[in-house]
Chains A and B, each alone.
Chain A
Amino acid sequence: MEVYLDNSATTRVLPEVAELMTKVMCEDYGNPSSLHMKGVQAEQYLRYARETLAGLLKVGEKEIFFTSGGTESDNLALIGCAFANRRRGSHLITTQIEHPAVLQTMHYLESAGFRVTYLLVDGSGRISLDALQQAMTGETILVSVMHTNNEVGSLQPIGEAGALIKRMNPDTLFHVDAVQGFGKAKIYAKKLGIDLLSASGHKIHGPKGVGLLYVRDKVKIQPILHGGGQQMNLRSGTDNVPGAAGMAKAAELLYGHYDEDLERLRRCKSRFIEGLRRIDGVRINGLLPDGPEGEGTAPHIVSASVSGVRSEVLLHALEEKGIYVSAGSACSAHKPQPSATLRAMGAEPWMLESTVRFSFSVYTTIEEIDYTLQTMYDKIPMLRKYTRR
């Protein structure tokens, strides 16, 4: 049995998506910038992609820009905004638990002369609005807060933060990294006061190599790629037509059965957490869906610390049974340093090397959950027996 529980790293591409992309690549392969029929045909796919994704975010088509993925979207939003608004101020705000695509870009901007405040998070992995309010100054040009944390699944109070920012300084822009949240929560950019929003194709059963950046109408940001002036000069480079079409198709399919899916995801997560509680020495990081403020956690991510078992060993032990999970997050698994998110949440030292992330997709089944739990029941006692003494 193969059980893929690493959907926050990437997801399986849906057959309908692959089919549409194959058609675009093999038949309607034109360049939308070409004047001839072939180009016009290709442009139709881009139009479809923009309309679809704009509709799902309830924004305008002209506000959707395609990029090479989440990382580029974050870079474009942050760097593009910082440099375009430099004369208004040089202060930026973000959180300690952002994805490296935001954190490292912030570090880059610091080296370019900007000042950055990194908001602390509480033990559940969420920022406090008071702290945000205190950090805001007249100099603040951008606040960037992630929607769903990729490691523990904590949800940030995006709507409240958006309202707060606009109340304090209508000129301060609000960027949301929604790479993990898009498709798992209904994110209506305008209602939430979001000016810039990043999302990625491959986290929602679409292709890798494509992402989007929503840029609210009238928000001016600078391009970071220079070239042929595609996408209203904001993002040069031949349009990734198959990517954009694939991402749109995936999102369309996902939102087509959104409510039932979400219900099932929640059931899976609850059952899984219930099962994990039966293992001694397991701690679940972040808020619990059945606990207080249970709405503050994502329906598809469970981060669990298993005492006495190193994450990598548990990962490979589960792998032997066909179960694929992540040690920390895939993005930091290659680096020996412990997770910044867990540290920011005040995790105890043993948890830093014994935490595994399970991330579900809407295609995860209850059988898979039970199989995973059973495998953990079988393996963990054995793994605990053989450790460093």
Chain B
Amino acid sequence: MFTAFLIKYAEIGVKGKNRYLFEEALVHQIKFSLKKCEGEFEIRRTQGRIYVEALGEFDYDETVERLQHVFGISSICPMIYVEDEGFEKLCDTIVRYVGDVYPDRNKTFKVNTRRARKNYPMESMEVSAGLGEALLDVYPEMSVDVRNPEILLNVEIREKIYIYSVVIPGPGGMPVGTGGKAMLLLSGGIDSPVAGYMIAKRGVKIDAVYFHAPPYTSERAKQKVVDLAGIVSGYAGPVYLHIINFTDIQLYIHEKCPHEELTIIMRRYMMRIAERIAGETGCLGLITGESIGQVASQTLNSLAATNEVCGMPVYRPLIGFDKQEIVEVANRIGTFETSIQPYEDCCTIFVAKHPVTKPNLNVIRRHEHNLDEKIEELVKTALETEELIIVGG
């Protein structure tokens, strides 16, 4: 029965003179997210509001679900709109609306009218009162409560007349693309897709890099990462996924450096490579799913050791999260089931039984010199042979 949606956005309302940029980005993201929906839509931006109007048949549930993926939307109000055919007709419309939307009408309500078109022959208060009366006539079980109504019926009189009362929460955040772009280190685990989601929610466009290590990691592990990037792209828009073959670098480190430091040194090279790609592709920072103390390579000492190699800021949105909290978000955004498929990623394959938890930077640096002979060449080859997959384009 609903034919349109009023899109409300909270945060971008306060962005001063840049506001139109944020609104345009939001309209762009809404258009993008509705592209795969059944039906055609017109998206209009007027007087600080965004309307999505369905032109003909559409799938309501699918559309709402897609809109709930668009960052920047604080709430989605499904509504109906009618031509202005006089007050009598409007009364019939609202009676029918309440009949359709609320099967149980033993509720309190209030009508709230906004008259954007001032030449409408009645004043807002009169309209509200008249419509309320009409409702009470037909549904005596309803009662009015102007302070704390269970149903708030909004009537907006513009060129057309809009009625809405249902409010569906959106994901919040800011429209993707308004905050620049950053490079996500995506591993296939539970944390990194959540980290990408959280940064994207702040309006940042996401690119990603994945390190794979055939034959130690499988084609399926890679497919899993592509799938995760796909789920993230459902929120963040198309993700450019850079796939780097890390095997030779990893084996070289394995050969030349102490085993307890393998993971740290390996991660330092991952950061270096990610930063190189990020720099070349216009990213303004790196994103990781690290959280303090979760594993040996995520103690403050270890984070300092991996952080040191990067000039770019590294964003770690999960840094203070417990595993359970991360899992909750992963479940909510739909990455958890994919993340827990049991394929090894390159961080776990050679992991030492007792990796260092408090690496000494000077020692790490010294051991890295063992790699001087070939490492630059190996990094260069890895960068040259990267595979680029555009996910969700």
Contacts and interface: CB of A to CB of B under 8 A. Distances in A.
Contact of A312 (B344, B350, B353): B344
B352 A388 contact: yes
Given A312-B218, A320-B214, A386 B254 contact: yes
Nearest to B251: A386
Given A388-B350, A389-B353, A336 B216 contact: no
Nearest to B250: A386
Given A334-B342, A389-B353, A317 B215 contact: yes
B342 A336 contact: yes
A329 B214 CA distance: 21
Nearest to B342: A336
A313 B342 contact: no
A320 B342 contact: no
Interface in A311-325: 312-320
A375 B217 CA distance: 19
A198 B389 CA distance: 44
B115 interface: no
A388 B350 CA distance: 5
B351 interface: yes
Given A312-B344, A334-B342, A336-B342, A389 B216 contact: no
Contact of A316 (B218, B255, B353): B218
Given A386-B254, A387-B350, A389-B353, A316 B342 contact: no
A385 B344 CA distance: 19
B259 interface: yes
B320 to A, nearest CB: 31
Chain B contact residues, majority secondary structure: loop
Contacts of A388: 349-353
A387 B351 CA distance: 9
B214 A389 contact: no
Contact of A389 (B218, B251, B259, B344): B259
A388 B260 CA distance: 10
Interface string B348-373: 01111100000000000000000000
Interface string B315-354: 0000000000000000000000000001010000111110
A326 to B, nearest CB: 13
Contacts of B259: 389
A358 to B, nearest CB: 17
Interface in B231-290: 251, 254-255, 259
Interface in A330-389: 334-336, 386-389
Contacts of A336: 342
Interface residues of A, number: 16
Given A334-B342, A386-B251, A316 B350 contact: no
Max chain A C-beta neighbours (<10 A), residue from B215, B216, B218, B344: B215
B354 to A, nearest CB: 10
Max chain A C-beta neighbours (<10 A), residue from B218, B255, B342, B344: B218
B339 to A, nearest CB: 15
Contacts, number: 37
Interface in A83-130: none
Nearest to A379: B215
B350 A386 contact: yes
A334 B353 CA distance: 25
A146 B170 CA distance: 56
A386 B351 CA distance: 11
A316 B216 contact: yes
Contacts of B255: 386
Contacts of B351: 388
A320 B350 contact: no
A313 B259 CA distance: 19
Contact of A313 (B216, B219, B254, B353): B216
Contacts of A317: 215
Contacts of B215: 313-320
Contacts of A313: 215-216, 349
A386 B247 CA distance: 11
Contacts of A315: 215, 218
B342 A389 contact: no
A96 to B, nearest CB: 24
A153 to B, nearest CB: 25
Contacts of B349: 313, 388
A316 B219 CA distance: 9
Nearest to B351: A388
Contacts of A318: 215
Nearest to B352: A389
A317 B251 CA distance: 14
Contacts of B216: 313, 316, 386
Interface string A160-182: 00000000000000000000000
Nearest to B260: A389
B214 A316 contact: yes
B296 to A, nearest CB: 14
B214 to A, nearest CB: 6
Interface string A302-313: 000000000011
Contacts of A316: 214-219
Nearest to A314: B215
Interface string B206-239: 0000000011111100000000000000000000
Contacts of A314: 215
Contacts of A389: 259, 352-353
A387 B353 CA distance: 11
Max chain A C-beta neighbours (<10 A), residue from B216, B254, B255, B350: B216
A186 B254 CA distance: 52
Contacts of A319: 215, 219
A386 B249 CA distance: 13
Interface in B147-172: none
Contacts of B353: 388-389
Contacts of A312: 218, 344
A153 B383 CA distance: 45
Contacts of B219: 316, 319
A143 to B, nearest CB: 35
A357 B218 CA distance: 17
A320 B214 CA distance: 8
A6 to B, nearest CB: 14
19 contacts: A313-B215, A313-B216, A315-B218, A316-B215, A316-B216, A316-B218, A318-B215, A319-B215, A320-B215, A334-B342, A335-B342, A386-B254, A386-B350, A387-B350, A388-B349, A388-B350, A388-B353, A389-B352, A389-B353
Given A316-B218, A319-B215, A386-B254, 18 more contacts: A313-B216, A314-B215, A315-B215, A316-B216, A316-B217, A317-B215, A318-B215, A319-B219, A320-B215, A334-B342, A336-B342, A386-B216, A386-B350, A387-B350, A388-B352, A389-B259, A389-B352, A389-B353
Interface of B: 214-219, 251, 254-255, 259, 342, 344, 349-353
Return the 7 tightest CB-CB contacts between A and B, nearest first: A316-B215, A317-B215, A389-B259, A336-B342, A386-B254, A316-B218, A313-B216
